[in-house]
Structures are given as C-alpha cells and as structure tokens.
Amino acid sequence: MKNDYLCPFCKGHLKVKNSVIFSARKPNGERGILLLSPELGNYSVRKHRTFKLEDGVKTDLYCPICHANLMAQNYNNNLARIISIDEYGEENIILISEIVGERCTYVIHGKQVDRFGDDEPNYFGAGTEF
Ligand SMILES: [Zn+2]
C-alpha cells in the first residue's frame, strides 16, 4: 500500500520516505519528534534516545507543519486524527492512540471502521455509528 498521510488542518504531507512524522508533547511539557510506521498495525516508533516515553501516558500529537493539535475530539480524546489518501485518491480518516504503548488504529470510511492492533477493542464497541 502506498498511502499518503495528511494533516486534517493544513493538508500538509506527514509521510516522508518510510515514516509518518509527528511532533509530540508529554504531560510534563517536554516535546519531541516521533516517526511512526505508515503500515497500519505496525507500532514501531522511532525517536531520539533522550525523548523517553512511558507506557500508559497520554502524549499529545501535533502536526509538525502547522502545529495543530491532532486530538480527535469528535471521536475520543485519547485518539489522534489524520487523513490517509490511497493510490486511487480516496480519503479516509485514520485514528491512532495517543496513549503510549496502546496498539490500536482505526480507519473510518463512511459508516464503516476497519480496526488494527491488539488493543482495538478499547474504543468503538459494537454498534458504534460514525
Ligand atoms: Zn498541519
């Protein structure tokens, strides 16, 4: 899959080569850059060794281009929202967890949701309407 990923606010491209790039802020205000995998269901995270993340802690994600807070308020405050565009130009909403170590990704297209990751049951129980 050769999806591109866009900021929902500025429509800037978040994917560079094989990483989706975010600016992150920990609850203590410390900021850093996170490189996530563009592959859905791959939860590898690359970052500088001095930017330490603690499992279970919410880390706010921001667009590295326009600095908008990506929190998906319309869905769940623990999730961040970006846009994917597939090779046919179709746009979908992607939701990822801002909780460090929580492995779940949701792809919303119309009223359907595709789920990825071991922790996907944590959000959007059966019968959720989009
Ligand atoms: Zn942006």
pLDDT value for 97: 97
pLDDT value for 128: 80
Cα 127 to ligand 1 centroid, rounded to whole Å: 32
Instruction: Give the Cα separation of 23 and 59 in Å (integer).
Output: 10
Comparing CA positions, the residue from 2, 4, 6, 3 lying closest to residue 82 is 6
Strand partners, 99: 58
Could you give the number of structural domains in the chain? 1
Predicted TM-score (pTM) of this structure? 0.94
Count the alpha carbons within 13 Å of 74 in the hemisphere toward its beta carbon: 9
pLDDT value for 126: 72
User: Is 63 inside any structural domain?
Assistant: yes
Provide the domain limits for residue 50.
4-122
Cα 113 to ligand 1 centroid, rounded to whole Å: 24
User: Is 84 inside any structural domain?
Assistant: yes
**Residues lower than pLDDT 70 in the chain:** 1
Cα 33 to ligand 1 centroid, rounded to whole Å: 14
